[in-house]
Structure 1
Amino acid sequence: MTTNQQFEQLEKAFFHDGYQLAMKAVEANLEQEALHQSLQEMYAAIDGLIDSLFVYAQQQNQVIDCKKGCSWCCHQPVFALDYELDYLLAFMEKSFDDDTFSGVQEKAKQKQTKLGTLKGDELMNAKYPCPLLKDNACSAYEARPMACRIYLSSDVKSCVHFYNQPDDKNTYPALLDMPMRLGRMMNEGFKSALKTNGIEAKEFRIEEKLI
């Protein structure tokens, strides 16, 4: 079996796992607690994969440059599915005091004002801080969407370059392919199970849901 075939098998496995996790929530009549529990389990599985990648990279003297306090990627548009953002909001309602919650919503409104009319490359290259960014760290880290979890770079210089020169078509962040592809497939499986049961998940930018 070739490396590509092995990776395709991995993608199918992660899709299947995501599908089965969503089906657990379906069998519980899609009550919010059950849906959030399934989503939490999916995130835990992806986090486990990423933790293993960090250990493997260290053993091989390779680098994953992502760490707390590095927030270059937290200034670009982040898209997530509505069930992820509902989970994020529930976390905020439970964990944030009223002033903190209101402050995040105000920042979300400001970002929506900046980005709301942009499209295409102009939107994707826009740089404006995430409403949840505080002291260069995510204030809702435990509940961040899949897109944030799987965005891992092997070279922080490439991230800085993309932040400063997003229109440069020759240089992009040096992102790790495996977590990005497997995380997306797992989320696609989750989404597919919901669709099979009559629920069409839609995608939003984070700030659109926070307001």
Structure 2
Amino acid sequence: MSLDNLTEHEKLFFDDGYRLGEQAAAAKSDEKAFLNCVQDAYLAIDGLIDSILAMAQKQDISVDCKKGCAFCCHQAVYANSYELHFLGNFINQNFSAEQKEQAKTLAHEKNKITSGLSDEDVLHYKSPCPLLKENACSAYRARPMACRIYLSMKLESCVEFYRHPDKPDNFPLLLDFPLTAGRMMNEGFIAALKKADIEVAEFRLEDGLEGVLTHGAKL
């Protein structure tokens, strides 16, 4: 990715992610410190989104996302390896053995289907996230960046996309700024890790989740 083509705001978020990625790379041998850097990236985005939501409310701009609305939790989600490491660590610390086994089973069942689909068909496929329980995320505090920055301005657009995902030009009406901020922060984090020769890969959530719950999370 060329940094020359970034806007001022994109560059700021990229730089923030890069700084945290540098800290994470320096702490590679210290798992807790490494994961704290991932958490700091999440907290920075969460704080930004809280500010956006407060401003939206003052300006009477609708943001329809709320607990119990889970249309987006049935679509494709991708996460980086360090995000899956963070997620796996959270699950190991907070889930019972039964809950972990159930999440692994659900991830395996979904992965069996999506692994055989084309990239386009994966984007159209609708199935609940393995971590979705009673229309809420059971690992909410550790959810990947892609989940955090997905803010809908119109519930009906989410419903329509859920029901007719293959309809041309049919996409949820999302706030652009959180999407850009989160994506650029992840890009910066990844760039710093790669500069330090730390491999980063992207996975479908169910694929990566099955991996970390089966083989353990590793740096």
Pair in the same fold by TM > 0.5:
yes
> Which residue pairs with 2:113 in the alignment?
114
The whole-number CA distance in structure 2 between the counterparts of 1:117 and 1:28 is 37
Deviation at 1:10, TM superposition (A): 1.2
> Which residue pairs with 1:81 in the alignment?
80
Q: Is the 8 A contact 2:25 2:198 kept in 1?
A: no
The whole-number CA distance in structure 1 between the counterparts of 2:28 and 2:106 is 35
> Which residue pairs with 2:216 in the alignment?
none
> Which residue pairs with 1:46 in the alignment?
45
The whole-number CA distance in structure 1 between the counterparts of 2:169 and 2:188 is 33
SS at match of 2:130: coil
The whole-number CA distance in structure 1 between the counterparts of 2:121 and 2:21 is 34
Q: Is the 8 A contact 2:81 2:202 kept in 1?
A: yes
The residue type equivalent to 1:192 in the other structure is A
Deviation per CA, 1:24-53: give whole Å up to 9, x if none: 122234421111000000000000010011
SS at match of 2:79: strand
The whole-number CA distance in structure 2 between the counterparts of 1:89 and 1:69 is 23
The whole-number CA distance in structure 2 between the counterparts of 1:39 and 1:29 is 12
> Which residue pairs with 1:148 in the alignment?
147
Q: Is the 8 A contact 1:76 1:127 kept in 2?
A: yes
- Corresponding pairs, count: 205
> Which residue pairs with 2:213 in the alignment?
none
Q: Is the 8 A contact 1:92 1:101 kept in 2?
A: yes
Q: Is the 8 A contact 1:25 1:31 kept in 2?
A: no
> Which residue pairs with 2:26 in the alignment?
27
> Which residue pairs with 1:3 in the alignment?
none
SS at match of 1:167: coil
Deviation at 1:194, TM superposition (A): 0.3
Which stretches of structure 1, 4 residues or longer, exceed 4 Å deviation after superposition?
none
> Which residue pairs with 2:56 in the alignment?
57
The whole-number CA distance in structure 2 between the counterparts of 1:26 and 1:76 is 31
The whole-number CA distance in structure 1 between the counterparts of 2:79 and 2:121 is 19
Q: Is the 8 A contact 2:79 2:202 kept in 1?
A: yes
Give the alignment's TM-score, normalised by structure 2.
Answer: 0.91
Matches within 5 A, 1:130-145: 130-145=129-144
> Which residue pairs with 1:204 in the alignment?
203
Let me know the Cα RMSD of the aligned residues: 1.1
The residue type equivalent to 2:168 in the other structure is K
Deviation at 1:201, TM superposition (A): 0.6
> Which residue pairs with 1:180 in the alignment?
179
The whole-number CA distance in structure 1 between the counterparts of 2:83 and 2:13 is 17
Deviates more, 1:26-35 or 1:160-169: 26-35
Q: Is the 8 A contact 1:109 1:207 kept in 2?
A: yes
Q: Is the 8 A contact 2:10 2:181 kept in 1?
A: yes
The residue type equivalent to 2:49 in the other structure is I
Show structure 2 runs of 5+ residues with no match: 1-5, 211-219
Q: Is the 8 A contact 1:80 1:203 kept in 2?
A: yes
SS at match of 1:113: helix
The whole-number CA distance in structure 2 between the counterparts of 1:47 and 1:119 is 32
